[in-house]
């Protein structure tokens, strides 16, 4: 195979330009490794005139990514525009229909339309690869789909949104409120145009849904991800957690239980000595657990031009080397429909509430927990103002529904001011 592999790249933003740079800089290296040259044939973006700091003069230009996708002179359609509808979807479908392989960095598109796209690709005998869509530069899709293919995967976990991890670590380091750090991150350009994609856990939820599908042989089910963003995490919770030896992370967890597939993306307490607990700033970390391998931990940059382009190029190189694999690791038609199980796996919880200064207040809370079958591991009252005091409780393992029941019962005790905060403590 010495015929060149010809790429059409749709999108010339952060990622697209990164890909162009690698192909231009490492032509010889890529050809030596793939056994054939990698060439860019055509590109597309919204603005043809924008200065992108790379020389695009050697490539054909297409205003419309759909036309790019269908060009007779490309083998692989590289989709790095973004968005789960519109041009990204249209062009990806057009590429498959035109018999092209697809490499995509678009987690939103794949998390929402992954099953349909995988089926279409399979019917057309084409592959869709998406390493860059999950945890940026970390080759985690590859590790899970290929490296651990001999394992029954038992759990997948990950801190997969660098912006959220930045916000949470910065809150702790600087002792700042969520609102203050959010504004700071927004001004630094760390957040998506719609910040809810980041802080609402949606972006990380997309990634978790993709990993779940591969791990458990289920159809990608983003709607089945229990989503809770970091907006309700206070500096007080971060400090209290730290005091007890925990960090708060936006953690994704996917697990196949007897009751179905549990997928959660939510703030969790993790031990501060664990690899996940020690993760600072924008770095991502994914933990993969299987019956044979036990546990592997992968850590690296979750975003940025170089790392994301590196992941795209890994997929391109696989295709150049002739490697063809089903989108989610097994034929799309054999993926089972996931049965979502919400919070099926019990865990200890961190509970913080404001207790009114009334006789027997603590006893009433303890009673409500006991009635719901929840036992208390640690309890601590700290500080005190005129009429109330903050109380921290760490429960023993319980289900989320039992906890919700207890919290509902707190209301009628008349001793709790405001809403209690409940954060899961994940065993990592």
Q: Write out the DSSP string of 167-191.
A: HHHHHHHHT--HHHHHHHHHHTT-S
37: number of Cβ within 10 Å? 17
Our answer to whether residue 207 is catalytic in this structure is yes
**Given 20, 42, 87, 319, the residue binding ligand NAP (CB under 6 A):** 87
Q: Which stretch binds ligand NAP (CB under 6 A): 75-83, 116-124, 256-264, 266-274?
A: 75-83
Q: Write out the DSSP string of 120-140.
A: HHHHHT--EE-GGGTTTTS-H
Least Cβ distance, residue 105 to ligand NAP (angstroms): 3
- The answer to whether 113 and 93 have CB atoms below 8 angstroms apart is no
The one of ligand NAP, a copy of itself, none whose footprint includes residue 80, by CB under 5 to 8 A per kind, is ligand NAP
**Given 7, 8, 9, 16, the residue binding ligand NAP (CB under 6 A):** 16
**Given 235, 296, 366, 422, the residue binding a copy of itself (CB under 8 A):** 296
Q: Which stretch binds a copy of itself (CB under 8 A): 6-14, 139-147, 223-231, 373-381?
A: 139-147
Q: Binding mask 319-358 vs a copy of itself (x if CB under 8 A, - otherwise)?
A: --xxxxxx--xxx--x------------------------
Residue 242 found at the interface with a copy of itself (CB under 8 A): no
Q: Which stretch binds ligand NAP (CB under 6 A): 79-87, 92-100, 282-290, 372-380?
A: 79-87
Q: What share of the chain is helix, strand, coil (3-state, %, to 5)?
A: 40, 25, 35
Contact positions with a copy of itself (CB under 8 A) in 72-101: none
- The answer to whether 219 and 337 have CB atoms below 8 angstroms apart is yes
**Given 3, 47, 49, 334, the residue binding ligand NAP (CB under 6 A):** 47
The one of ligand NAP, a copy of itself, none whose footprint includes residue 105, by CB under 5 to 8 A per kind, is ligand NAP
Q: Write out the DSSP string of 250-287.
A: EEEEEEEETTEEEEEEEEEEEETTSTTTT--TTEEEEE
For residues 169 and 242, what is the distance between their CA atoms, to the nearest angstrom? 11
For residues 119 and 126, what is the distance between their CA atoms, to the nearest angstrom? 10
**Helices 27-34 + 14-25 axis angle, to 10:** 80
Between residues 231 and 304, which has the closer beta carbon with respect to a copy of itself?
304
Between residues 327 and 399, which has the closer beta carbon with respect to a copy of itself?
327
For residues 305 and 6, what is the distance between their CA atoms, to the nearest angstrom? 21
DSSP state of 347: B
**Phi, psi (5° rounding) for residue 183?**
-60, -45
> Is residue 142 classed exposed, middle or buried when 0-12, 13-18 and 19+ CB atoms within 10 A define those classes?
middle
Residue 301 found at the interface with a copy of itself (CB under 8 A): yes
Residue 136 found at the interface with ligand NAP (CB under 6 A): yes
Q: Which of 166, 218, 217 is nearest to 187 (CA)?
A: 166
For residues 2 and 398, what is the distance between their CA atoms, to the nearest angstrom? 60
Which of 89, 100, 207, 364 is catalytic? The answer is 207
21: number of Cβ within 10 Å? 15
- The answer to whether 71 and 41 have CB atoms below 8 angstroms apart is yes
Q: Which stretch binds a copy of itself (CB under 8 A): 136-144, 180-188, 243-251, 374-382?
A: 136-144
Residue 121 found at the interface with a copy of itself (CB under 8 A): no
The one of a copy of itself, ligand NAP, none whose footprint includes residue 46, by CB under 5 to 8 A per kind, is ligand NAP
Binding residues for ligand NAP, rule: CB under 6 A, are: 10-16, 44-47, 50, 65, 80-82, 87, 105-107, 132-133, 136, 303-304, 308
Binding residues for a copy of itself, rule: CB under 8 A, are: 18, 22, 26, 29-30, 32-35, 131, 137-139, 142-143, 146-152, 217, 275, 278, 290-301, 304, 306-307, 309-314, 316-318, 321-326, 329-331, 334
**Could you list the active site residues?**
207
């Amino acid at each position: 195979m010495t015929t060149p592999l010809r790429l059409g790249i749709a999108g010339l933003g952060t990622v697209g330009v990164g890909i162009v740079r690698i192909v231009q800089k490492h032509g010889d290296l890529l050809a030596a490794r793939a056994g054939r040259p990698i060439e860019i044939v055509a590109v597309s973006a919204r603005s043809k005139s924008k200065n992108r700091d790379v020389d695009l003069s050697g490539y054909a230009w297409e205003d419309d990514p759909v036309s790019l996708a269908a060009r007779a002179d490309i083998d692989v359609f590289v989709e790095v525009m973004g968005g789960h509808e519109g041009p990204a979807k249209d062009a990806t479908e057009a590429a498959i229909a035109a018999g092209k392989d697809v490499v995509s960095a678009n987690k939103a598109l794949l998390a929402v339309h992954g099953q349909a796209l995988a089926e279409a690709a399979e019917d057309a005998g084409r592959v869709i690869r998406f390493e860059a869509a999950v945890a940026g530069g970390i080759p985690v899709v590859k590790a899970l789909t290929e490296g651990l293919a001999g394992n029954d995967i038992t759990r997948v976990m990950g801190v997969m949104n660098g912006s959220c991890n930045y916000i949470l670590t910065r809150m702790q380091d600087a002792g700042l409120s969520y609102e203050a750090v959010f504004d700071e991150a927004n001004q630094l350009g760390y957040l998506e145009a719609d910040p809810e994609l980041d802080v609402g856990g949606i972006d990380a939820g997309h990634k978790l849904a993709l990993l779940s599908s591969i791990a458990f042989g289920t159809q990608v089910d983003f709607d089945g991800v229990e989503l809770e963003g970091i907006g309700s995490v206070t500096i007080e919770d971060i400090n209290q957690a730290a005091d007890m030896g925990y960090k708060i992370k936006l953690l994704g967890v996917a697990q196949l239980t007897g009751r179905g597939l549990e997928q959660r993306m939510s703030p969790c307490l993790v031990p501060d000595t664990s690899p996940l607990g020690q993760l600072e700033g924008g770095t991502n970390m994914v933990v993969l657990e299987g019956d044979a391998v036990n546990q592997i931990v992968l850590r690296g940059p979750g975003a940025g031009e170089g790392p994301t382009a590196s992941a795209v190029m890994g997929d391109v190189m696989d295709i150049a080397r002739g490697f063809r694999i089903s989108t989610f690791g097994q034929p799309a038609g054999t993926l089972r429909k996931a049965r979502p199980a919400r919070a099926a796996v019990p865990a200890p919880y961190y509970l913080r509430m404001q207790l009114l200064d009334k006789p027997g207040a603590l006893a009433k809370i303890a009673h409500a927990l006991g009635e719901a079958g929840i036992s208390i591991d640690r309890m601590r009252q700290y500080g005190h103002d005129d009429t109330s005091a903050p109380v921290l409780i760490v429960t023993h393992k319980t289900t989320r529904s039992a906890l919700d029941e207890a919290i509902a019962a707190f209301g009628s005790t008349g001793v709790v001011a405001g809403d209690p905060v409940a954060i899961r403590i994940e065993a990592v």
